[in-house]
A = this chain, B = another copy of it.
Amino acid sequence: MVEHSAIAQLAAAMSDEPAPIYQRVKQAIISQIRAGSWKANQRVPSESELVNELGVSRMTINRALRELTSEGFLVRMQGVGTFVAEMKGYTAMLEVHNIADEITQRGHQHRCQILAIGQNKADPEQAAVLGLSTGQTIFHSLIVHYEDDLPVQLEDRLVNPLVAPDYLSQDYHQLTPYTYLMQVAPLTAGEHIVEAVLPDARQRKYLSLDDHEPCLLIRRQTWSDTKIVTYARLLYPGSRYKLLGRFKGHG
């Protein structure tokens, strides 16, 4: 049971603008949380209480609470109740796009140089990142991406040949490895790590960098279904590339 005041406050917070009921219920609850009237871990009125007090059917209340739960405002436990979720600080997001799209979207020209492409027997480290066994054949490619004649990314990629058997016979001047892999094996999940590193001599040469110029390194593993499709090491000159992200708080 929740004190009467909580529901009275909520009823007062219900706007009477012409909007769907479940939306107004959601907004009213959000405003209670934002204003601090309902604090983290505090219990929220039960569905049946809300039904009685707001005079709305349970399916409508349920939809409002369910959506707020999936949006991270509430936590629900069957048999227990509904509670205000803890704001775990924020988890802001950075979007990481396909390099070719990013460049053309900026209105610049993308072109690339293929430094190497081929196959080899996987050493233990390579096998591990692709989820294969040591000694199995794997594909690899090394490509520099240019934005209007300025190198902006060195793409060092390992590919699982079981997933993309025709990887070696594509023309990567026409489409990026990423785009090709998306076509043959739509990705279902991925993981990446962003860090700052100093490139080695060979990398500096390919990216036309001076000594001691730092780089962003993104290491990315991509799954399709249960198989690892590819492992990529994307190296960006720190002076020429930045990751940009926006985020919204709860709401």
Is there an interface contact between B178 and A34, defined as CB atoms closer than 8 Å? no
Interface presence of A18 (CB below 8 A) = no
- Asked if A194 and B195 sit within 8 Å, CB to CB, the answer is no
Q: Which of B34, B194, B241 contacts A243 (CB 8 A)?
A: B194
Q: How many copies does the complex hold?
A: 2
A193 partner, pick from B194, B213, B244, B249, beta carbons under 8 A: B244
Q: Which residues of B contact A249 (CB under 8 A)?
A: 186-190
Taking CB atoms, residues of chain B closer than 8 Å to A193 are 242-245
State which of A8-16, A93-101, A125-133, A158-166 sits at the interface with chain B.
A93-101
Minimal beta-carbon separation of A241 from chain B (angstroms)? 7
| Interface check A192, CB cutoff 8 A | yes
Partner of A93, one of B88, B95, B98, B198: B95
Task: Kindly list 4 other residue pairs between chains A and B, CB separation below 8 angstroms, not including A193-B244, A196-B215.
Answer: A59-B59, A90-B190, A190-B247, A214-B215
List 6 A-B residue pairs with CB atoms under 8 Å apart, sorted by A's residue number: A88-B97, A91-B96, A94-B96, A94-B194, A191-B247, A195-B216
